[in-house]
Chain A
Amino acid sequence: MGDDWMIQPVGSGSGCWAPAADVYRTPQGWLVKFDLAGINPSELELERSGRHLVIRGVRRDVMVHAGLQTYSLEISYNRFERAVGLPCDIQSTSLSTEYRDGMLLVWLNDTSGRSGEE
């Protein structure tokens, strides 16, 4: 450890963790898929900001209520935040979400009829 560990880029600014995301091109616009299992959707917040799609939220470990003792821990809990950059402005797109199999799918459809940047 020591210096080797120290010089790794550490943490996001506010001490949040960031979920992984895939971005797809769709005929109507964009599909952004977040790896967000174990989330209470009511604790999610999505925001379109220029070319960025920002997601914030909290993941809580609900197992503790069953009185179980953690033996080892690898999954990140607590607050997370992630901004996904897209090649074009998404301010005016329509946004719809679906929570499927532990993945959060976010569709961004071009309402002006124009698809994103070629």
Chain B
Amino acid sequence: MKMQDTQRARDNNQDMLDTESGRQATESNGGADAEKKAAEDQLPWKEAVLPVLPLRGSVMFPMMMMPLAASRPASVAAIEAALASEDKTLIVATQLDPSVEEPEQQDLFEYATVSVIKKAERNNEGVSLIAQGVLRVRIEKLVRKDGYLQAHFAPAPVACEKTEEVEALRRNVVELATKIAEHLQGNAPAAVGQILTQVTDPLELAYLLASLMGLSVERDRELLAANSCEEVLRLLIDYLSYELKVRELQMEIASTAQSEMSREQREYMLRRQLEAIRRELGEDGSEQADLVELRRKFEEVELPENVAQEVEKELKRLERMSPNAADYQLTRTYIDLLLELPWNTVTPDNLDLEHARAVLDEDHFDLETVKDRIIEHLAVMKLNPEAKAPILCFVGPPGVGKTSLGKSIAKALGRKFERLALGGLHDEAELRGHRRTYIGAMPGRIIQAIRRCGTRNPVLMLDEIDKLGRDYRGDPAAALMEILDPEQNREFHDNYLDLPFDLSKVFFITTANSLDTIPAPLLDRMEVLTLSGYSSEEKEKIARRYLIPRQVAEAGLKPDQIDITDEALRYVIRGYTREAGVRNLERMIGRIVRKTAKRIVEGEPTPIRISPDDLPDILGPERFTPEKARQQLRPGVAAGLAWTPTGGDVLYVEAVDLGKGGKLTLTGHLGRVMKESARAALSYLISMAPQLGLEREHLENASVHIHVPAGAVPKDGPSAGVTMATALASLFAHAPARADTAMTGEITLSGLVLPVGGIKEKVLAAHRAGLKRVILPKGNEKDISELPEEVRQEMEFIFAERIEEVLAAAIPEMAQRKPPITLV
């Protein structure tokens, strides 16, 4: 009740701050001035010497009330003395070292507080008091008299001016204290809040907070030693911020520990719930079952030791992992791959040569060199089962059956067959895979193909190896080198698999349309087998034997329901297709068969006979005018032979004399080599003009234009040299070349005819065009054996070593006019 009254009086004082007298009242309440005055003028105690109560472990601040308990005889005596005074005052001083039993002057802190005993009570141990600090003093002299300490002292009130700085500091203290209070337990925060709003005197507030916060004695002493309110507040701010930091840290540690706990607990709870849901849905422990299944598989398959170790390791990892972990599926997929790869599985080879030959012949017409090579390999395998599988490269125009030949080989050997299209592949990782650390990582195509096969000795066909791309992501051709090298592929390293895999038993076959774009080191690793284009006769046989039966069966017809005559078939081959292979031919046959099927369904009587006259109705007008030989050649025109990726072709070289000027014009989309060979042909003719019966002067001055149709098709190569020379000679001699003769060959300035490539295709092209005589370089005589027998029979071959022989064979008039002169 008393306290509340006091409080109200002080609150009212606050209200009155603006009036003069109100201010005075406040000042007299706690201001330093008033205290000073009280200390100097009207000391409430009359004694100049006061008894001293040494305090262990705490500090009495002015204005603070504090419970004290005294048990030491000297302390009790001091209290007795104070109680025996009129105004119950004594000095409360802090002991520097709490362990000293009978402190002397040097054991007490120099600053102490004069205090008034508010309540006193005796008990068994001594006296307990409630005392209130009144004034800070400095102890000047301490004497022990009558059994207790007595002090001579000087008042040392704390200066407290109400400056703005003090106010700022006070607010700072309040803020810090509020924050600290938030960390306190129970009703303490509210109580502190109340004090902070009620106590307005900064010094009182400081002392009060210091007592409340339970600072160390050292700090309390420092506060008491401070001489101004400002200093007290500054010290307190230091202490409070430290305290706040410590408490915040404490909170943080506590809350981290708690959140850690609650997270685990939450996960546990969710897992339990999930389990319950699963049970409800009847999916009891699917992950567990999954793992058991994997384990079972692992125990069933036979793996090499290093692989088994890896699988064991990954399986253990998986079993420890939560099924929801990001890695779970990755690891699972990886284990699946390891278990599925045919580490030891091989299919037994069928080494029966007769059987192999029969299978190959059944599926493919001719292609003798390739078939022989396969049979040879089978023979070697029979004798030496450890022989390295060959790496073959089939080169040839599209549609000649490279891919299907691969399938036949697999069939003949009794091996699995897998095909990989490499066309346009430009990322090394496609072949070798990505490391497992990447998202979406997969094994390379090679390993995937092996996995699909399920054996480690399949026939693996790498299609279109000449169309490999290459960019900043790496060069797949380089990766292929490792794969295709029998010395290295025993330990093929796939990035995803990360374990060596033996590819040495794989029968690799690559295919390409041309060898030009295959890097030399890669080409070097392969055995190149050329599949050249088919002649019309071969195509006819292929059509009869394979294409027509296949298309008839596909259309659902019976073989005896349709009869395609030989003439009709030949007309399809010549008039509707122009290709080295048979793809278009098969398509055309398919169209014929389907149209026939329609007629049969419409009720026409079978068998339906297809003759050449029916074809325009079925296939439309003739697509290609067969390369018929020109019946008559003008002077200046000669028939050459060219090789194209789709087979050979007949080219007519045309030359005209443009009169004087000595200029050579070349047109027809010719490459550099071809242009140079035209110049060489002209130079040779000029140099040899007299011997050839030509006027040298005329040749030197003449302007000549040479054109090679068709103008839109790029052409290059040296093999048109003889044709150019023949055309020019015919032009200048005004004598036409023989219309039934075609030629090919490179020329030199000294008049030699050098051998060229693609003889088979070229001769077949001439044969197709109906040209019966072909002039070839002597050096190509050996290539004639590659030609089909009937072509060889039908054609006349002239083998030339020198230009003069070519000219004599091609231009009859020149042969008559001047006998060829052979120069050394």
In angstroms, how far is the closest chain B Cβ from the Cβ of A52?
Answer: 6
A78 touches B89 (CB 8 A): yes
13 residue pairs A–B, Cβ–Cβ below 8 Å: A7-B212, A10-B65, A11-B64, A14-B63, A15-B133, A18-B6, A18-B9, A50-B21, A52-B21, A73-B117, A76-B116, A78-B87, A81-B29
Most buried by B among A3, A11, A82, A84: A11
Contact with A along B37-77 (1 / 0, CB 8 A): 01000001100000000000000001111010000000000
Nearest to A71 among chain B residues (CB) is B122
Cα(A54)–Cα(B29), bound, Å: 11
Most buried by B among A8, A49, A71: A49
Cα(A98)–Cα(B120), bound, Å: 32
Complex interface: chain A residues within 8 A of B445 (CB): none
Complex interface: chain B residues within 8 A of A18 (CB): 2, 5-6, 9
B122 touches A7 (CB 8 A): no
Q: Which of A51, A61, A78 contacts B44 (CB 8 A)?
A: A78
Chain A interface residue count, Cβ-Cβ cutoff 8 angstroms: 45
Contact flag A64-B9 (CB < 8 Å), given A17-B118, A79-B38 = no
Q: Which of B22, B35, B84, B211 contacts A14 (CB 8 A)?
A: B35
Instruction: Determine whether B121 belongs to the interface, using a CB cutoff of 8 Å to chain A.
Output: yes
Instruction: Determine whether B346 belongs to the interface, using a CB cutoff of 8 Å to chain A.
Output: no
Complex interface: chain B residues within 8 A of A3 (CB): 188, 212, 214
Instruction: Determine whether B273 belongs to the interface, using a CB cutoff of 8 Å to chain A.
Output: no
A56 touches B28 (CB 8 A): yes
Complex interface: chain A residues within 8 A of B28 (CB): 14, 56, 81
In angstroms, how far is the closest chain A Cβ from the Cβ of B351?
Answer: 99
Most buried by B among A12, A58, A83: A83
Instruction: Determine whether B13 belongs to the interface, using a CB cutoff of 8 Å to chain A.
Output: yes
Cα(A7)–Cα(B8), bound, Å: 18
Complex interface: chain B residues within 8 A of A25 (CB): none
Contact flag A74-B119 (CB < 8 Å), given A11-B132, A52-B12 = yes
Q: Using A14-B63, A20-B5, A52-B16 as known contacts, list a sample of 5 further A-B pairs with CB atoms less than 8 Å apart, ordered by residue number in A.
A: A3-B214, A14-B34, A14-B134, A50-B22, A52-B9
Complex interface: chain A residues within 8 A of B201 (CB): 13
Cα(A12)–Cα(B214), bound, Å: 21
Cα(A47)–Cα(B115), bound, Å: 26
Instruction: Determine whether B564 belongs to the interface, using a CB cutoff of 8 Å to chain A.
Output: no
Please give me the 5 A-B residue pairs with the lowest Cβ-Cβ distance, nearest first. Answer: A13-B30, A49-B21, A85-B12, A60-B86, A15-B134
A14 touches B29 (CB 8 A): yes
Q: Which of B9, B89, B121 contacts A83 (CB 8 A)?
A: B9
A83 touches B211 (CB 8 A): no
Complex interface: chain A residues within 8 A of B554 (CB): none
Interface residues of B (CB under 8 A from A): 1-3, 5-10, 12-13, 16, 19, 21-22, 24-25, 28-30, 34-35, 38, 44-45, 62-65, 67, 80, 83-89, 115-122, 132-135, 188, 191-192, 194-195, 198-199, 201, 204, 208, 211-212, 214
In angstroms, how far is the closest chain A Cβ from the Cβ of B9?
Answer: 4
Contact flag A83-B192 (CB < 8 Å), given A13-B10, A14-B35, A18-B2 = no
Contact flag A11-B16 (CB < 8 Å), given A17-B118, A54-B25, A79-B38 = no
Complex interface: chain B residues within 8 A of A8 (CB): 3
Instruction: Determine whether A96 belongs to the interface, using a CB cutoff of 8 Å to chain B.
Output: no
Nearest to B6 among chain A residues (CB) is A18
Complex interface: chain A residues within 8 A of B7 (CB): 9
In angstroms, how far is the closest chain B Cβ from the Cβ of A97?
Answer: 19
In angstroms, how far is the closest chain A Cβ from the Cβ of B77?
Answer: 12
Interface set, chain A 65-100, CB cutoff 8 A to B: 65, 69-74, 76-79, 81-85
Interface residues of A (CB under 8 A from B): 1, 3, 5-15, 17-18, 20-21, 47, 49-52, 54, 56, 58, 60-62, 64-65, 69-74, 76-79, 81-85
B84 touches A64 (CB 8 A): yes
Compute the total of residue contacts between A and B using a CB distance below 8 Å.
153
Complex interface: chain B residues within 8 A of A47 (CB): 21
Nearest to A19 among chain B residues (CB) is B2
Nearest to A35 among chain B residues (CB) is B2
Complex interface: chain A residues within 8 A of B1 (CB): 20
Cα(A79)–Cα(B469), bound, Å: 105
Contact flag A15-B135 (CB < 8 Å), given A64-B86, A77-B86 = yes
Cα(A49)–Cα(B19), bound, Å: 9
Nearest to B192 among chain A residues (CB) is A7
A78 touches B116 (CB 8 A): yes
Cα(A60)–Cα(B43), bound, Å: 13
In angstroms, how far is the closest chain B Cβ from the Cβ of A62?
Answer: 7
B119 touches A82 (CB 8 A): no
Complex interface: chain A residues within 8 A of B10 (CB): 12-13, 83
Cα(A1)–Cα(B128), bound, Å: 13
In angstroms, how far is the closest chain A Cβ from the Cβ of B162?
Answer: 13
Cα(A51)–Cα(B8), bound, Å: 13
Cα(A10)–Cα(B212), bound, Å: 11
Complex interface: chain A residues within 8 A of B45 (CB): 78
In angstroms, how far is the closest chain A Cβ from the Cβ of B399?
Answer: 99
Cα(A65)–Cα(B64), bound, Å: 29
Cα(A12)–Cα(B62), bound, Å: 11
In angstroms, how far is the closest chain B Cβ from the Cβ of A74?
Answer: 6
B29 touches A76 (CB 8 A): no
A10 touches B208 (CB 8 A): yes
Cα(A57)–Cα(B338), bound, Å: 100
A1 touches B67 (CB 8 A): yes
Complex interface: chain B residues within 8 A of A52 (CB): 9, 12-13, 16, 21-22, 25
Q: Which of B8, B63, B115, B120 contacts A73 (CB 8 A)?
A: B120
Nearest to B67 among chain A residues (CB) is A1
Q: Which of A13, A60, A77, A83 contacts B63 (CB 8 A)?
A: A13
Cα(A3)–Cα(B212), bound, Å: 7
In angstroms, how far is the closest chain A Cβ from the Cβ of B776?
Answer: 118
In angstroms, how far is the closest chain B Cβ from the Cβ of A36?
Answer: 13
Cα(A9)–Cα(B89), bound, Å: 22
In angstroms, how far is the closest chain A Cβ from the Cβ of B158?
Answer: 12
Complex interface: chain B residues within 8 A of A54 (CB): 25
In angstroms, how far is the closest chain A Cβ from the Cβ of B231?
Answer: 19
